[in-house]
Structure 1
Amino acid sequence: MSATGPHAAGTPEADGLTIRRATPEDEGAIIQLIRESMGPDDAVEWSAEFWRWKHERNPFGTSPVLVAEDAGRLVGLRTFMRWMWTCEGRPVPAVRAVDTATHPDYRGRGIFRRLTVRLRDEMGEEGVAMVFNTPNDKSRPGYLKMGWEVVGNPTVWVRPVRPLRAARGLLSGDGSPLAPTVRAEAAVTALDSPGVASIVDAAGAGGVGRYHTAPTLDYLRWRYGAIPGSDYHVAVRGDGSGGALLVVKTRLRGRIRELRVCDVVANESAESRRNARVLLRRAGRLAHVDAVIVMPTPEARWSDLARAGYVPVPRSGPTLTVYPLDLAPGVPRPTLLNNWSSSIGAFELF
């Protein structure tokens, strides 16, 4: 959260507000604004520690943050989280449109739109390739009005584990309301082990494919291990160049208990890919769940998932939207769904 550079100085608006880059001194006021705008039910997660993890310790870089203030009082916030996609072996710098807040007394004055458009344009000037996000049905129309394009909904692959219990849960509401325990090591400790490091090192920057996040050790530790209150786990088979691992978490979808495979780490060797398939096939044993879900990546191709007993559910993933900015020549268009092969973990809301 830096306030240096050409966009650091505040810009006065016609209605008396000032828009400027946030500084480290704004942290307390930012957390307070988020809590005031989102209400008490959402405030627990928004501690200073969570903010610092998400926006300052991100291995892809510190988040650019714009604020709107009125006579020194913060009344609006817009953050983009830096991200690095890899596509056909090339790094593609991006930002994800994430946290935004407007004080209840200042709603209806277009603060969200002004902050979003300005920060988007600043990212283009910096050479960022695109802004992306997965907005819900309520917020998506606002992004489309600002020029975002709907890419589509990626296919999620599902391996049923207890289909009868799942059906009963859907039809009658029966079933446990508690998320099941995962029988795998917690990510916060597993990702620091030498065995896991050897698997990640052997995988390198990940497979050569469409838009995906390279599973580096820095990224995995930040995304799944260091997140405050982490509930991710790591399942490992083998080590070094022949090893593979899954990063998983449980989730309740209504009454259905699912295990999400958030990331798969493997390399191109036959042994590593075989171990990845074994882990995927046995993932349902890691917790008392009704189904396991995963999205295809270069490390978990469609053929691997099919051999491991998964079936595709087309257009069942989150709705991906993109605003292209400064794409390098020859980089595949991010507005085409077929050019994406992201893991669930990269699209999760956090």
Structure 2
Amino acid sequence: MSGQERGNSPFTVRELGKHDEPRVLDLLGAALSGGPTGERTSEFFRWKHRDNPFGASPGLVAERADGRVMAVRLFLRWEFVFGGEVIRAVRAVDTATHPDVQGRGLFRRLTTDLLERIEADTSLVFNTPNGNSLPGYLKMGWQEVGKVPIALHPIRPLAFARGLKELRASGDPTGTSQSWNSDDPAARCRFPTARQFFSDPRAAVGFDELVAEADAGDAAIGHDKLRTALTGDFLRWRYGEAPGLDYRVVASYKNGELTGVVFGRPRLRGPLVEFTLSQMVVRPGDRDTARKLFSGVAMSGCDHVATHLARGSEAARAARYAGYATPPRTGMLLVARPVHPHPIDVHDLRSWQLSLGDLEVF
């Protein structure tokens, strides 16, 4: 019943419009803090919700009679492929309710109304909720898929060990719930930015061909799994155009030919500086380049690397040889809610072939 009041509700639920952006950003900032960039900016919002190559994000707001936006709900468009078929999906993101009206059912109402709106062209909803929002999703039909494991590799072992000890002692294992006196991650990282890489035609020559071959390799090992198809345009948007995220590039060349690329970003993890390795692009079978890229990542100047790489890929195999290990009971919780039936069990983590770049920052 979007677009009108429901029963005796004092709120009108309607589609999110461009004119709502300033008020929505204020509400998101108040409810969810600064997000992955530290600040809720128009540039980041538009990159994420308007410029997304999978399509603009559907969204709803709950508005009071005086025109004040009191709640917002957005779904980020995404596309997976499965056996050559495109699976249209959305990721449940950016939901906020003003403190004055929390507990009045707006989260559930906006979510269920938006689910009705996307039903005609969407097959799947997924996201990585935190502990606070998970119960609400489970009540609305989401189910746990499992924890996507995160592999770690110390670059500066002593600093890494000290930082882990501080995190455990603080009761803040993610390093995000309190202020820390930490180094500037940008100053520590020596790699060129993704924006610089894509703007230099000499550096990026052959990039689209490399991506096409890498995607063909991913398709061969993941034909029976949900995966994000790689294209040059997608990776330019995801890493080269992302405002405020400081993605960096490690590139490998042989006889002047681009043979592999890593996209990642330096970020603070409490007292530690982490290099989040989001995506590695290499040709199928080229394990030498994958190992060379991991050696390059070790020169980032950060304390450690964190990543998740598609199971069975050259990158994942090379990571094991490079000393990457997955600590027990860690990872990002993935949940899903099918909108229509699927030929595979989307609630089984083995049905997914993901990189960390599919999950982080959104």
TM-score range, shorter chain: 0.7 to 0.9
Gaps of 5+ in 2: 170-179
Aligned 1:244-263 pairs, distance under 5 A = 244-263=260-279
Q: Offset at 1:322?
A: 0.6
Q: TM-score, normalised by structure 2?
A: 0.84
Shift in alpha-carbon separation, 1:151–1:82, aligned structure 2, 3 A? same
> Which region of structure 1 is more displaced relative to structure 2, 91-100 or 19-28?
19-28
Aligned residue pair count = 337
Aligned 1:127-166 pairs, distance under 5 A = 127-166=121-160
Q: TM-score, normalised by structure 1?
A: 0.86
Shift in alpha-carbon separation, 1:90–1:39, aligned structure 2, 3 A? closer
Shift in alpha-carbon separation, 1:28–1:176, aligned structure 2, 3 A? closer
Is the 1:159–1:292 Cα contact (8 Å) retained in structure 2? Answer: yes
Q: Which residue of 2 aligns with 1:349?
A: 361
Query: Is 1:214 equivalent to 2:222 in the alignment?
Result: no
AA at the equivalent of 1:203: V
Query: Is 1:227 equivalent to 2:242 in the alignment?
Result: yes
Q: Offset at 1:226?
A: 1.5
Q: Which residue of 2 aligns with 1:177?
A: 182
Q: Offset at 1:96?
A: 0.6
Q: Offset at 1:146?
A: 0.9
> RMSD across aligned C-alpha pairs, in angstroms?
2.8
Partner SS for 2:95 = strand
Q: Which residue of 2 aligns with 1:94?
A: 89
Q: Which residue of 1 aligns with 2:352?
A: 340
Q: Offset at 1:42?
A: 9.7
Shift in alpha-carbon separation, 1:183–1:217, aligned structure 2, 3 A? same
Gaps of 5+ in 1: 1-6
Aligned partners of 2:37 and 2:307: how far apart in 1? 30
Of 1, 5, 9, which residue of structure 2 is paired with 1:12? 5
Q: Which residue of 1 aligns with 2:75?
A: 80
Q: Offset at 1:155?
A: 2.0
Deviation track 1:238-289 (CA, whole Å, cap 9, x = no partner) reads 2797611100112232323321111111222x4x4421221013311122x2
Q: Which residue of 2 aligns with 1:47?
A: 41
Q: Offset at 1:117?
A: 1.4
Aligned partners of 1:142 and 1:342: how far apart in 2? 25
Is the 1:200–1:266 Cα contact (8 Å) retained in structure 2? Answer: no
AA at the equivalent of 2:282: A
Query: Is 1:316 equivalent to 2:325 in the alignment?
Result: no
Partner SS for 1:185 = coil
Deviation track 1:101-140 (CA, whole Å, cap 9, x = no partner) reads 22222222110110011112322x2231211111111111
Is the 1:264–1:299 Cα contact (8 Å) retained in structure 2? Answer: no
Partner SS for 1:285 = coil
Percent identity among equivalent residues? 37
> Which region of structure 1 is more displaced relative to structure 2, 216-225 or 52-61?
216-225
